[in-house]
Amino acid sequence: MPRIKRWFPVSHDINRDPEMWELCAKFGDKALRCWLEILSIADRNEGELQGSLNSISTAVAWAIRCKSAKTLRILNGMMTINWLHVDGCIKVTNWAKYHKTWEPKKLLDGSLPSYPNLPNLPYKNKNKNKKPLSVAPIVLPDWLPQKEWDEFKAHRKRKRAPLTDSIAGRLIQVLRQLKNLGHDPAQVLTEAVDRNWTGIKIDWIDKPGGLNGKDQRQPAEPKGYAGLRDFLKAHNER
């Protein structure tokens, strides 16, 4: 079933048309309403108005709230200025002008071009032979335990926040900084899961009471202490 159209084309200059002004001067604004109703009926019937002029005037008169006799005079006025004409039935004269259909361009001799029938070519999947971009897998540093890392990844997956490679790289950097501040990375990951975190920030951990309610930070070695320790160890082994 074809879709019902709720609109039809009307000239942009309808309010500037001298013939429309002449009709309105003679019959009032009902002439404009009558013309719009005629266009509406014609649009649904390929530009044709089925029935006699009297039956058409009766139908239009009911739609525009006008007497049939006056509507008939308006239609006769439109016939006089050739807005309507009779060709087997009553038709809107310029209906085809405002309802252009696509037609192929004609050749110079007036004939239509002929196009060869192309075979149905098989569909080519352009992405079929494309290789996926290779992404270097995340390699955990030696100080980061695999067990706690996997538990944190599974926790994020349950929270519908899968751990992508970019997020994992940033998380490892945070854990590295926390390790340098004296925090155990395994304990940090476990605490994040227990507290239902999907991320870790230094401020959340590196503060009094930030981990397990206590200050878990271990005092950092004084600068140069590692070298002094190695010296004393070598001295004692002599």
DSSP string covering 69-94: HHHHHHHHHHHHTTSEEESSSEEETT
Dihedral pair phi/psi, residue 215, rounded to 5°: -85, 100
What's residue 141's pLDDT?
87
What's residue 121's pLDDT?
58
Q: pLDDT at residue 151 above 90?
A: yes
What's residue 95's pLDDT?
73
What's residue 101's pLDDT?
61
Q: Are strands 84-86 and 90-92 parallel, antiparallel or unpaired?
A: antiparallel
pLDDT over 70, % of the chain:
69
In sequence order, what are the beta bridge partners of 211?
214
List, by residue range, all CATH 1.10.10 domains of the chain.
18-98
What's residue 136's pLDDT?
57
Q: pLDDT at residue 117 above 60?
A: no
What residue ranges in the chain does DSSP mark as E strands?
48-49, 84-86, 90-92
- Of residues 71, 73, 17, the one with CA closest to residue 41: 71
pLDDT digits (tens, 9 = 90+) for 66-82: 998 999 999 888 888 88
Q: CA geometry: angle at 53 spanning 46 and 74, to 5°?
A: 95
CB-CB contact of 17 with 11 (8 Å): yes
What's residue 100's pLDDT?
65
Q: pLDDT at residue 119 above 70?
A: no
Q: For domain 18-98, give the CATH number.
A: 1.10.10
Q: Which two tokens stand for residue 92?
A: 């809107």
Residue the block writes with tokens 């004692």: 236
Mean pLDDT within 122-148:
72
Helix H or strand E encompassing 15: none
CA distance 198 to 212: 17
What's residue 129's pLDDT?
66
Mean pLDDT within 137-150:
86
Helix H or strand E encompassing 233: helix 225-236
Q: pLDDT at residue 211 above 80?
A: no
- Report the predicted TM-score, pTM, of the whole model to 2 decimal places: 0.41
